[in-house]
Structure 1
C-alpha cells in the first residue's frame, strides 16, 4: 500500500457542493455533453486522482478519489489476467455503473470497444445487450473516436480522444461535434506530489472533468485509452 500512501489526498471538507449531489444540476450551456448518470455531472470542474491499482489483494484495476475531499468515487477490481478485455466501473459501494468490453480486431487494422450501462453479464441474462457507446481506433493512430449509439430519431454525436505517444499519461477528450473551440470535456495528466515540483509514480494521474460532463463516461474512456496504449 506504499503507492496509496504517496497519494496524499486532502481530507478537508469541500468548499463547493459534492460533484455527485443530485441537487447540483450541471451548469446551463448551449450544448451539454451526453450523460448516462446526470448525478455525476458537476456545475464546476472536478479534479480526480486516478490510481491504476485495485485495493483488493492481487487484484487489477483502478481506484479513483475526489481531490476536493478525498472520498473514493470509482473503483475497478478484477482478478483475471486479461482483465483489460472486460472491465466493470463501479461506484465506491461496489454498484456496477458501466461495463467496458473489448471487441475483436477488424482485419487487425482497427481496435473496437463497447460501453454498456451496468453489468453486462446481468444485462445478457435480461436480454439487454445494446451498448450506449462504441469506440474505434485505427492501428498505429494515437486518437480514438467514440460514438453514441443513436436512439430512434436521435442526433448523431460522440467524443474524440487524443493522447501523446511520447508521454506516459497525457490525454484529452473532446466533444463532437464541437460547438466552439472550448470543446474539451476532460483531460488527463501525470499527478504532481505535495511539493508541486515532482511527479508521483507512473500509475497515478489526475483526471480533470469539465462542467456538465459525466464523470463515469470520462473515466470509462480513460480506461479504454489505457488499454489501447
Structure 2
C-alpha cells in the first residue's frame, strides 16, 4: 500500500525489505534510532533527540542518513483524556508555521489500556476517507505488527527482536529486525513503529 505523491518513491520497494533498527542514536549519549538496510549495510533512517529527556510528549523527527527530514510525528495527548493521538506530517518540525497549516498524512489514535491503535490516512480531495492501518504490539516480547484496515487486514510490516543468523543468539534488546512488504512506504512504517515504542 503506497502513499503516492507524498514521499519520495525510493523508500518503497517492489520486493520485501528487511531493515535492522538499532534503538540508539549515532550521537554520543543521544536518544533515538539508527536504521540500516540488511542487504548492503547502508543507513536508511536516523532519529536523533537533541533535547534532554525521553520522547514522551515531544515531537519526533524521522530523517534520512544526511539529515533530510522525511516526517515529523507530533504527540497530541490532551489533559484528562483517555485517548492518546499523534499526527504524522511530511517535512520538518522547524517549519512550524507551515506545519500548522498542513493536513497530516496520518492520524493515529489509541484508547487507554489498549494494546492496539489505528492510523487513519488524511481525507482525500473529494472528501472520501482513505484507508489506514491497525497497529498491534507486545512490550514484553518486543514485537509490533502493522496491518491494513481493509477487510483482508493485510500485514504490511512487522518488527521483532533480532537474532544472529549463525547461532540464533539474541543481539540485544535494542536491536530489532523490521520487514516491510512490497509497495509499503518504509518511512511511514518507521514512523508508526516509533509511535508504538513511545507509548
Instruction: Please tell me whether the aligned partners of residues 49 and 204 of structure 1 are also in contact (alpha carbons under 8 angstroms).
Output: yes
Instruction: Please tell me whether the aligned partners of residues 123 and 129 of structure 1 are also in contact (alpha carbons under 8 angstroms).
Output: no
CA shift in 2, pair 1:159/1:165, >3 Å: same
Name the residue aligned to 2:55. 83
Cα-Cα RMSD: 1.8
1:203 lines up with 2:174 in the alignment: yes
For residue 72 of structure 2, give the secondary structure of its aligned residue in structure 1: strand
Name the residue aligned to 1:143. 116
In structure 1, stretches of 5+ residues that fail to align are 1-31
C-alpha deviations, 1:95-149, integer Å up to 9, x for none?
A: 0000011012363311111101011321525763321111011111100100011
In structure 2, stretches of 5+ residues that fail to align are none
What's the TM-score once normalised by structure 1's chain length? 0.79
> Could you tell me which of 190, 195, 214 is aligned with 2:161?
190
For residue 65 of structure 1, give the secondary structure of its aligned residue in structure 2: strand
1:172 lines up with 2:145 in the alignment: yes
Which region of structure 1 is more displaced relative to structure 2, 43-52 or 99-108? 99-108
C-alpha deviations, 1:142-166, integer Å up to 9, x for none?
A: 0010001112214431100011243
For residue 124 of structure 1, give the secondary structure of its aligned residue in structure 2: helix
The list of structure 1 runs, each at least 4 consecutive aligned residues, that deviate by more than 4 angstroms after superposition, is none
Query: Which whole-Å CA distance do the structure 2 matches of 1:99 and 1:126 have between them?
Result: 9
Query: Which whole-Å CA distance do the structure 2 matches of 1:100 and 1:73 have between them?
Result: 18
- Residue 78 of structure 1 deviates from its aligned partner by 1.1
After TM superposition, list the pairs within 5 Å mapping 1:61-140 onto structure 2.
61-80=32-51, 81-84=53-56, 85-105=58-78, 107-125=80-98, 128-140=101-113
Instruction: Please tell me whether the aligned partners of residues 76 and 90 of structure 1 are also in contact (alpha carbons under 8 angstroms).
Output: yes
CA shift in 2, pair 1:162/1:187, >3 Å: same
Question: Rg larger in 1 or in 2?
Answer: 1
CA shift in 2, pair 1:190/1:156, >3 Å: same
Query: Which whole-Å CA distance do the structure 2 matches of 1:150 and 1:128 have between them?
Result: 15
> Could you tell me which of 51, 57, 63 is aligned with 2:22?
51
Name the residue aligned to 2:3. 34
